[in-house]
Amino acid sequence: MIISADMPMSEREAMQYSPLALAFLGDSVYDTLIRDYLLRCANMPVSKLHTAKIKLVCAEFQSSVYDTVAEILTEKEFAVLKRGRNSTGNNVPKHAEAVDYRRATAIESLFGYLFLTGQEERILQIFKVIMKNVLPDFD
């Protein structure tokens, strides 16, 4: 996992960032986990790795796991998820539905929050739940 240069933030400090700022960081955390997973699964050409990655980092996929992730969250984590979903100011890409984009932003906000607060184990637990949606035998 990626290690932050500084000590983890308190939950209060992390919550001072906007949901979109948390999503900015969380997007890279989630993307890195997906890339690591795909690379370890199979030694294949980069173009195939990229194609597989795109399917797992798109708004539509992230939105599809929103409800599953929401079920396993603590109260505080769920509050972060809701803040991310309800955030305004993000421009929805032409290839995504607004509801999918907001739910994807929520997932990314959660990953950003957990990263800032140093909860790497929790990030991995949630990532495993997400991947079980794709691969039921994932562990």
- The residues assigned a catalytic role are 27
Q: Which long-range contacts (CB under 8 A, 24 or more apart) does 89-95 make?
A: 89/20, 90/20, 90/23, 93/59
d(CA 46, CA 75) in angstroms, rounded, equals 39
Q: Please give the angle made by the CA atoms of 27, 117 and 60, to the nearest 5 degrees.
A: 25
- What tokens appear for 18 in the block? 């906007």
d(CA 60, CA 80) in angstroms, rounded, equals 20
